[in-house]
Structure formats: structure tokens, C-alpha cells
Amino acid sequence: MFEYAPAPESRSVVDLKPSYGLFVDGKFVDPADGGSLKSINPASEEVLAEIAEGGAQDVDRAVRAARRAYEKTWGRLPGRDRAKYLFRIARIIQERSRELAVLESLDNGKPIRESRDVDLPLVAAHFFYYAGWADKLPHAGFGADPQPLGVAAQVIPWNFPLLMLAWKIAPALAAGNTVVLKPAETTPLTALLFAEICQQADLPAGVVNIVTGAGETGRALVEHAGVDKVAFTGSTDVGRAIARSVAGSGKKLTLELGGKAANVVFDDAPVDQAVEGIVNGIFFNQGHVCCAGSRLLVQESVADQVLESLKRRMGQLRLGDPLDKNTDIGAINSAAQLTRIRELTEAGAAEGAQSWSPPCPLPERGFWFAPTIFTGVTQAHRIAREEIFGPVLSVLTFRTPAEAVEKANNTPYGLSAGIWTEKGSRILWMADRLRAGVVWANTFNKFDPTSPFGGYKESGYGREGGRHGLEAYLDV
């Protein structure tokens, strides 16, 4: 064994301003009626920048700018020209990807290894993918001349800030819409850097507007009478509230909400591979993943063996500085999220489940939570039913495939699921029966711009990615 030596990524590549305005109509402007918020580094609690909190007037200004751009420039541009702007943006993202990755890790707390190797490549790929659709919409299967909707209001979460921006903006623009996007209050910085990239690409003013703020700003945006489309990624509770608020308005709505995915391990699965998949399923991005494999369903006959391997593997996970290239588990995104994780894990213990974490010193400053598994979990326990959105795995067992299906589907959610077995026919049998929008067999947490992503049941509706992702932004 080698001695551990830190390998920190330099943050000098990031040039942060002390404060940022709203990005409206192609320019950074001060808020008219809003206040300000501070975005902090969750690994150190250091203030990174002050950002504007958009008020109702600011939202209105942004929606009007988007409407003007839709009517005067973007809506009239041929698809091939929209495509070229999107290709430009994709290229600039690639050129500035290290800067964006470091900034993402600073603002979000996720390990640089993930922001650099997962988030940023997917962000660029997403813009490339949808760029190519912009002049091919008549071939997308939605009729001969599918039309855009108009102005899209987009509200995104803090777990994959720039990736969720890409998932929202790329298809919207490719289809010919203009957008007003509200990033999460704790992770607005890469969206603001993206606004600079739009300027750098000479994207016409008003096509992309970024209004930073918290819940009230988002509410003003989705309820604004001037928007034609609402797209939201976040919690099921907020998604429900948005679905109620757009009722009767005629706004097209797509929602990508919570999950409580089952990761099902059969007795014939190769244990080492399955354990890697379990670890990736729940500890990737600190478990701040809506499709995280947060319920491990392991076949009873191999449960002891799998758990032993899993614990051994968890002992190897390195928690700490997100900018250290060795880091596996970074910081919890916010104090509020840490409180939520603690509250649910305390409920898990109180309800009788047994928790286990590897020896894992936590840094003194910042928000941290050690990787944790709960055994002795029943389906009635809160930790088996509610989305924890943290590095916490609930372990349940099953005996027969039918029982595995029953337990996996025993949730109001239906975003994703995992299957681990060497038997091909069993994979397909399971995949047919799991009520989830994405099924990973002998892998987990894989994403691609060509691959539709989205949920069944209370995990929301609509798909992002692939040809299906265009439908959310076309009047079809």
C-alpha cells in the first residue's frame, strides 16, 4: 500500500467575482425588487460570491425578454442556425470544462473526479446532441412541422447544477423555445458562468435568461402568466405544488422528481461487481441523486457475503476535500440537507434499524456525513420509504424474484431500479416488471444524452434525453 498523499486540483482556474447580478436580455443586471443571497462552499463554509435574489419584477422582466427573443430573433431563426449556436456553446463548454468543473465542485461540494469526469463531459455531450436536432425536427416523429411552445420556465436542483441546466436548456433551444432558468439557491455559480458562455457564443439577447434566487423566485417564475412551458427537477412535494399551480393554465408541464430506487442483487451476481454497483448507486455524488439506489434488495442466501464485501469496500472510500482528486465522497450540499439526512437516519435508528459506517474522520468545517448503511430495515421504516438524498443505504432482503419485484415496486416513486444477476432471461423478466423509468442491469447511475430519463408514478412525467426529450418542448 502507498501512503495517502493529497492531489488537490488548483482553483486558480476559476475567476470569481465578488457579486453577480441576474442575466436578463443578454446582460447582467441588478435586481429591481429582489435582495441578495450568499453562495457558500459547503466543504469550508467560505462565502464564494454574493448573488442576486430575483423578485417578481425581475422574473417579469426576464419573461418579457424571453418573449421578445422568441418573437423577434430565436423563433424566426432557421433550425440550422439554432444548431450552430448550440454547437458553439458545446464547444466553449469543452474548452472551459476544467474551469466549470472546479467551480461546480466549489459551489456544490461534489468530488472533482465526478464533476470533471461525469458532469462536464455529459453537459457538453448534451448540447452537442440537441444541437444536431435543431434542424432535423421534422424527422423526430412528432409530425411534419412540429412547433416550439414559446417561453419555457425552468427550475433546477442543486445536485447536478450545470448538468440539469444542460438537460433543460439544450432541448428547449433546439426546439426553438427561449428560456428563463432559475438555478438552485445554493448552487447558482456555474449557471452564471454559463450565462457568460452564452455571451461569448454571441447567442441573441433574451434567448437564455438566468434568474437566481430561492423558492419564491421559482414560484414567481412558474406562475408567471407569460410562460408557455414549465419544466422542474426537484422534490416530489414541490413538483406536486407546481402541478397544482399550473392547473387550468394550459402550460405544458414536465416534472422530474424524487426516487427511492431498489437495487436488486440476486444470488448468482458476481459479488465484487455488484458491490461496486451498490457503492456507485448510493455514494455517487454523496447520494444527492434522485435515481440513487437507496434501497438494496439482496437475496437472502448471499446477504451476509454481500454485506461483508460492501463494508470492506466502504472502508476504502475517501471522504474529504472535493478538490482532492482522490476524494470519493465530498461535502453535503447545505446545512439544511445535512439536517434532513440526520433527521431521517435518527428515525431509522429509532424505528429499530441498525446503522453502520466505516471509521471515517469528518473535517471540522463544512457539512459532512459519513457513508452509512442500515440493516434490519423493514418496508414500513421511514428510511425505506422516504427519499433521504444522502449517502445512506437501506438494506432489505428477499427470497424469490417475485418477492423482489413486489418489494422493489412497493413505493410511490418509480424513477430507476437496478438488477444484478448473470442470468439474461431473469434480467429481462425483472426489467419488464419493475415500474421505473430507467432500469440499470449489471450497472448503475449511467447517463447519456441519447438515453431518455424520467419517472413513473410520483417520480414525475416526461422524459429528458433522446428523441423523447424534444417532446417536452414541442407543441405536440
Partner 1 sequence: MSERVTVRKTYKLFVGGKFPRSESGRSYLVQDSNVSLASRKDARDAVVAARAAVKGWAGATAYNRGQILYRVAEMLEGRREQFVALGVPGAEVDAATDRWVWYAGWSDKLAQVYGGANPVAGPYFNVSAPEPTGVVAVAAPEVPALLGLVSVVAPAIVTGNTVVVAASPTAPLAAVTLAEVLATSDLPGGVVNVLTGRLSETVPTLAAHMDVNAVDLTGVRDPELAAELEVKAAENLKRVLRPVPADHDWSADPGLRRMTALLETKTVWHPKGV
For partner 1, the closer of residues 243 and 317 by Cβ is 243
Quick check: 474 binds partner 1 (CB under 8 A)?
Answer: no
Among 14, 255, 338, 474, binds partner 1 (CB under 8 A): 255
For partner 1, the closer of residues 150 and 206 by Cβ is 150
Give residues 85-114 in contact with partner 1 (rule: CB under 8 A): none
Using the contact rule CB under 8 A, the part of the chain among 221-229, 260-268, 352-360, 466-474 near partner 1 is 466-474
- Count the residues of the shown chain that bind partner 1, applying the rule CB under 8 A: 43
Catalytic residues: 256, 290
The contact mask relative to partner 1 for 146-165 (x = CB under 8 A, - = no) is: --------------------
Give residues 217-236 in contact with partner 1 (rule: CB under 8 A): 236
Quick check: 247 binds partner 1 (CB under 8 A)?
Answer: yes
Quick check: 271 binds partner 1 (CB under 8 A)?
Answer: no
How far apart are CB 270 and partner 1 at their closest, in Å?
12
For partner 1, the closer of residues 257 and 331 by Cβ is 257
Burial of residue 41 (CB within 10 Å: 0-12, 13-18, 19+) is: buried
Among 55, 157, 171, 239, binds partner 1 (CB under 8 A): 239
Using the contact rule CB under 8 A, the part of the chain among 31-39, 85-93, 145-153, 243-251 near partner 1 is 243-251
Among 8, 78, 138, 141, binds partner 1 (CB under 8 A): 141
Quick check: 446 binds partner 1 (CB under 8 A)?
Answer: yes
For partner 1, the closer of residues 185 and 471 by Cβ is 471
Quick check: 240 binds partner 1 (CB under 8 A)?
Answer: yes
Sequence-distant (≥ 6) Cβ neighbours of residue 318 within 8 angstroms: 4, 324, 326, 327, 328, 329
Look at residues 257, 76, 295 and name the one whose alpha carbon lies nearest to residue 159. Answer: 257
Q: How far apart are CA 253 and CA 242, in angstroms?
A: 9
Give residues 415-444 in contact with partner 1 (rule: CB under 8 A): 427, 431, 436-443
How far apart are CB 252 and partner 1 at their closest, in Å?
10
Q: How far apart are CA 259 and CA 455, in angstroms?
A: 8
Quick check: 139 binds partner 1 (CB under 8 A)?
Answer: no
Sheet bearing 19-20, strands edge to edge: 19-20, 47-53, 35-40
Quick check: 118 binds partner 1 (CB under 8 A)?
Answer: no
How far apart are CB 90 and partner 1 at their closest, in Å?
14
Quick check: 461 binds partner 1 (CB under 8 A)?
Answer: yes
Using the contact rule CB under 8 A, the part of the chain among 178-186, 196-204, 280-288, 468-476 near partner 1 is 468-476
Using the contact rule CB under 8 A, the part of the chain among 21-29, 92-100, 350-358, 462-470 near partner 1 is 462-470
Sequence-distant (≥ 6) Cβ neighbours of residue 328 within 8 angstroms: 111, 113, 283, 317, 318, 319
How far apart are CB 344 and partner 1 at their closest, in Å?
22
Among 111, 458, 470, 472, binds partner 1 (CB under 8 A): 458
Using the contact rule CB under 8 A, the part of the chain among 67-75, 324-332, 338-346, 450-458 near partner 1 is 450-458
Residues lying near partner 1 in the complex (CB under 8 A) are found at 125, 141, 143, 236, 239-240, 243-244, 247-248, 250, 255, 257, 412, 414, 427, 431, 436-443, 446, 448, 450-454, 456-458, 460-461, 463, 466-468, 471, 476
